[in-house]
Structure 1
Amino acid sequence: MKFPCSGVILAGGLNTRFSGINKAFVRVGGMRIFDRIYSVFNDLFEETILVTNDPLQYLDWDITITTDIFPIRSSLTGIHAGLLCATNPYVFFIACDTPFLKKEMVETLIDEIEPRFDVVIPETSAGYQALCAVYSKNCINPVEQHLVQKKLKIQGFFKKVRVKKVPENILREHDPELISFFNVNTPDELAKAEKIIEQTCEISKISQAS
């Protein structure tokens, strides 16, 4: 790792589309999504931070826990809390509902860190992937300004910082299907995730047989 970087998992959502069930603990392929992300982070980061407003649920993990400073439910408040808590100048953020985050994707983004940029963000045909990106501590003040004004869109503060966009062709070199960005927000998406697991297992069996 060229530049010191912490890893932050954001788990502050209301989970309304899952009837209040914590998405981080939803199982995909028999394994909780949180455990899948934690395993990737454990291999990459010396400092892993969890932003949650329900810390008691996560006492079984060896992880630094922090909560939102601003009393507003949004991903931007989570980014703010993670940046404040991190001891490193750069922080990689991921949402807690991404079961297929690839270590190679995280490494690709971390490798793109440069001191002259404050944000390193994937850009795909679907747009920016703001919750699978690197933010520097230089973002704290611009983020605070937007939160005070109740401007909650993450991309809203980008015009006040220096942003490096990582293009889709670079991202696909290590994650051809861009599966790292797949979110489980609804029961339908959970069913789709299970199908992805099944297909991956079938491909693996075929490869081993040949």
Structure 2
Amino acid sequence: MTIPGIILAGGQARRMGGGDKGFLPLGDGTLLDRVIARLGPQVSGLALNANGDSGRFAGLGLPVIPDSLPDYPGPLAGVLAGLDWAAGQGAEAIVTAAADTPFFPGDLVARLVDVSSDMDVPLALAATPDPERGMSRHPTFGLWPVALRHDLRTALEGGLRKVVLWTDAHNAATAVFSGGSYDPFFNVNTPEDLARAEEMLEVMA
């Protein structure tokens, strides 16, 4: 399959005081710089899901795709926007990654494709082991088939907001990643998280 990557940056970053979390500094660049560098080699092309003035992302040189539904209905709206864009590109599926998660696995796409390879309509989410819940799924990191975009649109227009309710309804596969010494899906929601990300970056260097 030809699989473009969609970086989900449509959130409002309330816990960071608003604005675009992706532009927060990390190491010698930004959060978005690290996400682009990590996802780019794994996919056939990249686009950014974000709302508002797309001009603020002009320096990235990426297509910017806004939500097609109003009032920030959550990450599934970004997935739908990505699927609609990918359909116009002739792609069969997309992989999504969050703009605030700088350390996700370098084999994310390969593993998502592998666990869903026997499905008629491949759909998969990333997950990590959780000592309390057994498994913690990461719904902004997934493989999404273009064939289900109209089903997703109908679900969103009907009020669905929780990602896993929709993915479970379609028997999504799960790709389990072990973080080892760090959580590969650690995301930055607060200033304290950003400081922690800097510490993690130093350890990995």
TM-score normalised according to structure 1 size: 0.84
**Max Rg structure:** 1
TM-aligned CA distance change 1:75 to 1:134, over 3 Å: same
How many residues are paired up? 194
1:1-210 matched pairs, under 5 angstroms: 3-54=1-52, 55-73=54-72, 74-86=74-86, 87=89, 88-114=91-117, 115-124=119-128, 125=130, 126-167=135-176, 171-172=177-178, 175-177=179-181, 179-201=183-205
Alpha-carbon shift at residue 177 of structure 1 (Å): 4.2
Q: Distance in 1 between matches of 2:114 and 2:64?
A: 26
On the 8 A contact 1:122/1:129 being kept in 2, the answer is: yes
Give secondary structure in 1 for the equivalent of 2:4.
Answer: strand
Greater mean deviation of Cα atoms: 142-151 or 104-113: 104-113
Q: Distance in 1 between matches of 2:188 and 2:60?
A: 22
Greater mean deviation of Cα atoms: 33-42 or 175-184: 175-184
Q: Distance in 2 between matches of 1:4 and 1:180?
A: 25
Cα deviation code 1:15-68 (max 9, x no counterpart): 111111311011122320111111123322222111111311111122222111
Which consecutive unaligned segments of at least 5 residues does structure 2 have?
Answer: none
TM-score normalised according to structure 2 size: 0.86
Q: Distance in 1 between matches of 2:202 and 2:37?
A: 20
Which consecutive unaligned segments of at least 5 residues does structure 1 have?
Answer: 202-210
Q: Distance in 1 between matches of 2:127 and 2:99?
A: 20
Q: Distance in 1 between matches of 2:114 and 2:21?
A: 29
Alpha-carbon shift at residue 117 of structure 1 (Å): 4.0
Cα deviation code 1:106-158 (max 9, x no counterpart): 33223334242431112332521111111111331232122112221111212
Give secondary structure in 1 for the equivalent of 2:161.
Answer: coil
| 4+ residue runs over 6 A deviation | none
Alpha-carbon RMSD: 1.8
Cα deviation code 1:175-210 (max 9, x no counterpart): 534633110011111111111122223xxxxxxxxx
On the 8 A contact 1:121/1:166 being kept in 2, the answer is: yes
Give secondary structure in 1 for the equivalent of 2:60.
Answer: coil
Q: Distance in 2 between matches of 1:107 and 1:89?
A: 15
